[in-house]
């Protein structure tokens, strides 16, 4: 049985900060947010904070991420870097969210998608299954995009074998640094 697990943690995505316009910066009261509740997250910027994905030949693919702020939607693009490339897109759905607490400076959202592996091209269905097997991992590229509650693109991250195909999307490269 082949299996692997990949985890990326980040303090704050610099991609989202790089695009900030100082003229439009919110200068409203920044007092203690420890009383923030999920319904009162409208001023919190949606940023990817953690990404975790894994594959197991029996269980399939698991994609999971947490964001600062609430997400309106999220999707992951998956591509294969081979002579006969394959492309899939899957949505991630909110499975848990919460308010600021000891582990979270702001309100947060947890998103995920679980996919079983299929070998039948005709049976591949977005958000249900994937043609990618675990042993293809080294030939794959990934792009995770999250949207804020108003459905504006809020943040994105790329990782994998050749993320240059996503360069035009302006996402932060989350590949581990070369040693």
6-20, 54-68, 96-110, 162-176: which is most confident: 54-68
Mean per-residue pLDDT, 118-144: 93
The encoded tokens of residue 177 equal: 């640094």
- Residue 93 in this model has a pLDDT that exceeds 90: yes
Domain 3-13+45-173 annotated CATH 2.60.40: yes
The encoded tokens of residue 50 equal: 């953690």
Please report the pLDDT score of residue 105 as a whole number.
Answer: 76
DSSP secondary structure of the chain: --EEEEEEE-SS-HHHHHT--GGG---S-----TT--GGG-TTSPPEEEEEEEEEETTTEEEEEEEEES--SEEEEEEEE-SSS--EEEEE-EEEEEE--BTTBSS-EEEEEEEEEE---GGG--TTTEES--GGGGGGEEEEEEEE-TTS-EEEEEEEES-GGGGGGGT-EE-SPPP-
Please report the pLDDT score of residue 16 as a whole number.
Answer: 36
What Rg, from alpha-carbon coordinates, does the chain have? 17
- Residue 170 in this model has a pLDDT that exceeds 90: no
Please report the pLDDT score of residue 12 as a whole number.
Answer: 40
The encoded tokens of residue 57 equal: 């030949």
Domain ranges of the chain: 3-13+45-173
pLDDT band at 107 (very low <50, low <70, confident <90, very high): confident
Instruction: Give tens-digit pLDDT for 11-62.
Output: 343 333 333 333 334 444 444 434 434 446 767 899 999 999 999 998 999 9
Q: Is-contact 160 141, C-beta < 8 A?
A: yes
* This prediction's pTM: 0.76
Task: State the Cα–Cα distance between residues 45 and 163, nearest whole angstrom.
Answer: 25
Strands 172-173 and 153-160: parallel
Please report the pLDDT score of residue 37 as a whole number.
Answer: 45
Please report the pLDDT score of residue 40 as a whole number.
Answer: 64
Please report the pLDDT score of residue 7 as a whole number.
Answer: 52
pLDDT band at 168 (very low <50, low <70, confident <90, very high): low
């Amino acid at each position: 049985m082949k299996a692997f697990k990949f985890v990326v943690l980040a303090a704050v995505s610099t991609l989202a900060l790089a695009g900030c316009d100082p003229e439009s910066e919110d200068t409203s009261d920044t007092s203690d947010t420890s009383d923030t509740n999920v319904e009162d997250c409208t001023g919190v910027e949606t940023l990817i904070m953690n990404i975790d994905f894994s594959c197991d030949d029996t269980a399939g693919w698991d994609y999971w991420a947490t964001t600062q702020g609430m997400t309106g939607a999220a999707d992951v693009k998956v591509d294969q870097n081979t002579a006969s490339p394959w492309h899939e897109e899957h949505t991630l759905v909110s499975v848990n969210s919460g308010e600021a607490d000891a582990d979270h400076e702001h309100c947060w959202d947890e998103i995920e998608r679980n996919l079983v592996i299929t070998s039948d091209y005709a049976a591949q269905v977005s958000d249900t299954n994937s043609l990618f097997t675990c042993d293809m991992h080294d030939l794959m590229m990934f792009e995770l995009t999250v949207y804020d509650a108003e459905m504006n693109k809020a943040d994105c991250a790329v990782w994998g074998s050749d993320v240059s195909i996503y360069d035009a999307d302006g996402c932060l490269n989350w590949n581990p640094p070369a040693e």
